[in-house]
Structures are given as C-alpha cells and as structure tokens.
Structure 1
C-alpha cells in the first residue's frame, strides 16, 4: 500500500482527495500549508506527494525546491491552469507530473500509478525488519517488541528503522543526522543522544543496561539482538 501526502490549502478539496484515495487503497495524510507539508514529507517519508502550487504561506515551487533538497520522493503538482508559468517552473525544478484542476479521482490515481511505476516506489510492500523480538514494519510505520506495540514518534520511528536496517553495524551520529534528520551540513550530536535516550526508555532498557541499542564511544551506536542467556549444562547422570 503506497503512502501519499496531499498538500492542499483548500478545505473543500483536501478532504475529498484524502477520502477518495483512501477508498482506493492508499494510505493518505494531508497538510494545509507548504511548511506543514514539508515537515510531513521529511518525517513521514511518503511514497508520493501531491503538491498544490497556490499555498497560503509559501509558494508551491519553493516547497518543491525544499523537498528536493532533502528527498527524491515523487511529486505530482496540482495547478489551476496547464499554461501557468509556475507549473513550468515546478516541472523544471523536479516535479514528476502534474494534474490540472478540477481533476477527477480517476485521473489523479492514473497519474499516481504512472509516477510510482516509473520511480519504482510503492510497487511492493516494504518487508518487515526483524531483529530478535523487535519487529519494524516500514509500510505501517509500526513497531512491536515481543509482540507488544511500541508507541513511537515519527522521528523515533525513523531513527529505529534506520538502525534496524543496519543491525549489527555501528552507525555514526553524523550519518544519523544526515539520513534521519536530513542535516548534512550541521546539527548537534545532542539531538541524536536525546532521541536515543527516549528510544531506549520505550524499548525498556537504558544506556547503562542496554539490550538492543549499544553505544560505541566516540563512534556511534549499534543495534543488535540481545544475546540468548547461556544455560548451564545439566550435570551428567552418575554411571
């Protein structure tokens, strides 16, 4: 099931598009402004974004440029006119396709299917990542530990998924800032430390008594399954 983010300020159009795509099997979220849409695109990592150009806070073309600075998620532009110069600018800036308002749900879905096919996104469900009793479901953005649901914030989920997909490997804080926080040119290691602390608490462990998350001093952090307890050998029966 592909995840679609709809960035649209019109309170009449937005819920209609969300409901229509949801009825056709998509997981849909929405945002009414450009900056809210940008934040959700970064945090939720959807498979595709439907982006209106006429947003109240930031021009849609600028939003696209900001999305493209941190992500290659496919973007379909929604425009009121097919000869709008801003539509041409958006396509030049990296938009994958466009629809002209008013559009039908069937037309929008056809564009979504075509773009996802070209990009390879949403073609197949993303497999669960399993590390010991920890299961990370990227498609549903759900985590369970020993069968129990673990409630995580969007950032905590992205952090855990990134580490779980590299289980057994030491991941540097710089990589985490780049890949999870999308801050390749800066950012504080303290940000990573705080989120790791929250994540440990929700996984029922601590830095002093780690089970899954192991800090490597001066390098980063490694996620791995806890070692099975060593069982003492049974004494041999007397001969």
Structure 2
C-alpha cells in the first residue's frame, strides 16, 4: 500500500483528501506544518507528497526546495495560487505537478497514479527506451517511431532525451533552455519553442492533439503518460 503524505493546514480539505486517498487504497500520513511534514519524511517511508503552498509556519516553496536537497520523491502541489509565476517557481524548485484549488478528485487520483508509476523507473543502463511507439537508443543516437527510423538533430535528440527521462514530469522552459543551450540562454525561450516545433513535426504530431509532447501554457512541457 503506497504511503502519501499530506502537508495541508485546512482541516476540511485534509479530511476530504484523506478519505478519498484511503478509498483508493493509499496509506495516508498528515502534517499541518511544513516542518512537521519534513520531519515525517525523514522518519518514515513515504512514496508521494501532496503539498499546499500556504502553510502557517513556512512557505510551501521552501518545503519543496528543502525536500529536493535530499530526496526525489514525487511532489504534487495543491494551491489556491493560480498565477503563472507561482506555478513556474514551484516546478523550477522541484515539484512534479501543480493543481489549483478547487480541483477534481478524479484528476488528482490519476496524477497520483501516474507519478507513482514513474517514481521508480526501470534502469536505462541498456541505453534503450520504449515509450508508446517510440524507441530511443541513447548510445546510438537513434529514434524509431512505430518501427520507422527518424532522423533528429543533436538538439532535437537532447530535448527528447530530457523529456523522456521523467515521463509525466513537467519540465519548465527555463530548465530545458539551460540544459540544452547553457546558463546564458536560460531566458531565450523562443529557441525552445522552435526546437519543440521541429521535434513535433518529425514525430508527426499536432500541438492541439499531442501524442507525446504536452504543452503547459506559460510553464513548460512534459512527455505524456497514460493516466
């Protein structure tokens, strides 16, 4: 039974989440304060964190940064803060997903399932990945789509590699531009948009109905996983 830690100070929301998660066969741990949640993570086995940003003792953004100093546990943010800057900050700090309140419980459960599936991905020591019709050979720099070899540039291949490192994980514009072009290009998101458009063309997909690369408007991209 996977364990999920709720770091949430609103009693009603916490009760609703606990009942919903337990109904889906998850073991639930609870914390009202950020420091309390961090202490639980250090002391107990936890598989996923659901975190509110507006905590009484510390900002949730700091909780994310603290966790990421020593753990890659999946983190889903649930927050009333809906502005783009807050979302980007949380995702850049290391959150895996971000949902605004009010939220649909079915969608939250689907995102929990997806993150738990990929939180301990199989090793890629063999240098090959197979994802929904895509076959990626990291050693040979080869990509096949539905069995057909497609030719990618080095940067297109690097973008695909980064996205498929953690399927379902949102990668921000800033993270991707830094990783592909370097620190000096962190804010040059137009380069990234062009690269994504080129990669999508070669993968034969339309942005409005993506098979592989999902756009999070104003935030970044993620490689789609089945929910």
More helix by share: 2
> In structure 2, the residue corresponding to 1:53 is in which secondary structure?
coil
Distance 1:45 1:86 in 2: 29
CA 1:80–1:106 in 2, change beyond 3 Å: closer, same or farther? same
Q: Give the aligned partner of residue 198 of structure 2.
A: none
Confirm or deny that 1:96 pairs with 2:96. Answer: yes
> In structure 2, the residue corresponding to 1:12 is in which secondary structure?
helix
Distance 2:115 2:3 in 1: 13
Q: Give the aligned partner of residue 116 of structure 1.
A: 116
TM-score (norm 2): 0.51
TM-score (norm 1): 0.48
Distance 2:55 2:88 in 1: 17
Matches within 5 A, 1:111-150: 111-120=111-120
Q: Give the aligned partner of residue 15 of structure 2.
A: 15
Tell me if the contact between 1:80 and 1:101 (Cα under 8 Å) persists in the aligned partners.
Answer: yes
Max Rg structure: 1
Superposed CA deviations along residues 154-200 of structure 1, whole A, max 9, x for unmatched, are xxxxxxxxxxxxxxxxxxxxxxxxxxxxxxxxxxxxxxxxxxxxxxx
Distance 1:112 1:66 in 2: 21
Q: Give the aligned partner of residue 78 of structure 2.
A: 78
- Unaligned runs of at least 5 residues, structure 1: 122-239
Distance 2:14 2:110 in 1: 18
> In structure 2, the residue corresponding to 1:66 is in which secondary structure?
helix
> In structure 1, the residue corresponding to 2:4 is in which secondary structure?
strand
Superposed CA deviations along residues 78-130 of structure 1, whole A, max 9, x for unmatched, are 12143252221110011111111111221111110111122238xxxxxxxxx
Matches within 5 A, 1:60-75: 60-75=60-75
Superposition deviation, residue 74 in structure 1: 0.7
- Unaligned runs of at least 5 residues, structure 2: 122-227
Q: Give the aligned partner of residue 149 of structure 2.
A: none
Superposition deviation, residue 7 in structure 1: 0.5
Superposed CA deviations along residues 195-216 of structure 1, whole A, max 9, x for unmatched, are xxxxxxxxxxxxxxxxxxxxxx
Superposition deviation, residue 45 in structure 1: 2.8
CA 1:38–1:84 in 2, change beyond 3 Å: closer, same or farther? farther
Distance 1:117 1:81 in 2: 27
My pick for the range that moved more, 75-84 or 6-15, is 75-84
Distance 1:55 1:81 in 2: 12
Q: Give the aligned partner of residue 3 of structure 2.
A: 3
Q: How many correspondences in the alignment? A: 121
Matches within 5 A, 1:151-230: none
